[in-house]
Amino acid sequence: MKPIFALSLALAIGASSVFLPPSSKSSDASLNAVATTDGKAAPDFSLTTTDGKPLKLSDYKGKGVIVNFWATWCPPCRAEIPDMMELQKEYEGKGFSFIGIAIGDEEEKVKAFVSAQKMNYPVAVGTRELAMSYGKLTAEGAIRGIPTSFVINRKGEVIGYFVGARDKATFAEAIKQAIAN
């Protein structure tokens, strides 16, 4: 990881505790308004999962997706993963998947964490450019803290996002919205 990106991410996360709601789990089921509400297509990406498989968002067209930006060193990120794993199991047969994108993290640490937790959805280490392309869709114009999750409908359009950890009920409502469209 480049030192400038790490420093920028650390500053953004530090600032998020001042300007954004706390990262504790929230039961607020509403999604924040996305800056571009005209059915903006989610930025595609091509990454490799922690188990060596190709991962492209475009391969999920026709499915609802939640792209979750997170890191192994982030306590709120780790706290929401068990709920996401349960919901992945519940909704994967209904045309849905979580995709985890680790940012500001070391690849070996991410691989070890995913393996230890037995995470059941695709996880990859993201790039600065990918985080920036999704950040442009927020009202703030950048990913200002993690976890940040983007809800994408079956057409590949971002229909909402939220910053900070969310509880199982909030994710379940977001999944229902993603697969309904």
- Which residues are catalytically annotated? 77
For residue 161, what are the β-bridge partners? 32, 150
Between CA 41 and CA 34 the distance in angstroms is 12
Residue 170: HSE in the Cβ half-sphere, 13 Å Cα cutoff: 21
Tell me how far the alpha carbon of residue 149 is from its chain's centroid: 4
**Rounded-to-integer distance, Cα 132 and Cα 158, Å:** 15
